[in-house]
Each structure stands twice: as C-alpha cells, then as structure tokens.
Amino acid sequence: MKGNVHLYTGNGKGKTTAAIGLAIRAAGAGMKVFIAQFIKGRHYNELSALEKFEGQIVIKQYGRDCFIKNEPEEADRMAARRGFDEVEKIVMEGAYDMVVLDEINIALYYELVDISEVAMMIKKRPEHVELVLTGRYAPQSLIDLSDLVTNMDEIKHYYHNGIEARPGIEY
C-alpha cells in the first residue's frame, strides 16, 4: 500500500490533535507509528494516553518549549537538528508505517531545519511510509509536495475571551 503525505496547517486548533487521532486510528489497524514532536518539550497529556500503545506508537520530543515568543537559541537549533536527523533515519528505515512530524512547519519557519532536507526525505522515503506534517506557516513548497493538505482556519477561539490553556484540552 502506497503511503501518502498529509499536511495540517493554519492558525486554528486541531492540527496536532488530528495527527494524534490519525496515529490512534493507524494503531487500531495494527500499524506502527512514530511521532516526533519538534519545538515541544513539555509533558502533554496525550503522552500519558499514548503509553497505552506501547510497542505500537512511539512518541519523542525534540524541543525545549520555550522560544515561541522569543527568538530561537542555539540549544533550540541543536534540539531540532538532532530531531530531524533521528526522524529522517526512522523514515528511511521504513520500520514505522506512519511517521508524524509534529510542528515541523514551525521548525522550518524559524529555519531550525532546512526545507531541502525535508523535501529530500519525502521524495526518497520507502513507498509504504505515510507521513503526517503539522504546524502553522507551511511553506508553499511543502504544500506542493504533499498529497493531502488541510488548512485549519481559526473562526473563533476562546483564548480571545481570556480563557487559558487547560490540562486535558490544550495539553
């Protein structure tokens, strides 16, 4: 079965949650899934939940969760660099049927990872590997390389009403 490239972008809520949902569905069908979270480096509640899928879903973080409102530092670059090298190897080996690169678009936007390397990985991957890319600010070249692209558009968000991120809902 040929794998496709999914891209979930836009400023609305639902990108990472959709990727988690895809991972769960794939696991339900007996597929093996690797989830790489770029930028993020904090304990999210999905991590606890995904522990139930030990041996089927592996999740790893390659970020420090702290630069988003500032400029990335050298440590952020190194974390993303190490992350991409690891994920690229995992994709190429083909042992996982689905590989999620969560927030890869943010890593690209801040130039922590190079678009030409991501493009190369997409093109050269084993044919059966399904890729799921997320994050706002997807570059046009990545849209061109993807088979399925959904733009999650924020129509309304309760953040604007002063409601803060809540455990179990946002993380």
Q: Which residues bind a second copy (CB under 8 A)?
A: 1-2, 4, 6, 8, 10, 12-22, 24-31, 44-50, 52-53, 97-98, 130, 143, 146-158, 161, 163, 166-169, 171
Name the residue nearer to a second copy (CB basis): 75 or 148: 148
Residue 116 CB, shortest distance to a second copy, in Å, is: 21
- The backbone torsions φ and ψ at residue 157, rounded to the nearest 5 degrees and listed phi first, read -145, 135
Name the residue nearer to a second copy (CB basis): 48 or 70: 48
Residue 97 CB, shortest distance to a second copy, in Å, is: 8
Name the residue nearer to a second copy (CB basis): 47 or 122: 47
Indicate the Cα dihedral angle 24, 171, 55, 19, nearest 10°. 40
Q: What phi-psi label fits residue 39: left (phi over 0), alpha (psi between -120 and 50 degrees) or beta?
A: left
Give the list of residues 6+ apart from residue 142 with CB closer than 8 angstroms, or none.
Answer: 7, 105, 108, 115, 118, 119, 133
Residue 155 CB, shortest distance to a second copy, in Å, is: 4
Closest CA to 1 of 98, 128, 91: 128
Name the residue nearer to a second copy (CB basis): 112 or 146: 146
Residue 34 to residue 23: CA distance in whole angstroms: 8
Residue 2 CB, shortest distance to a second copy, in Å, is: 8
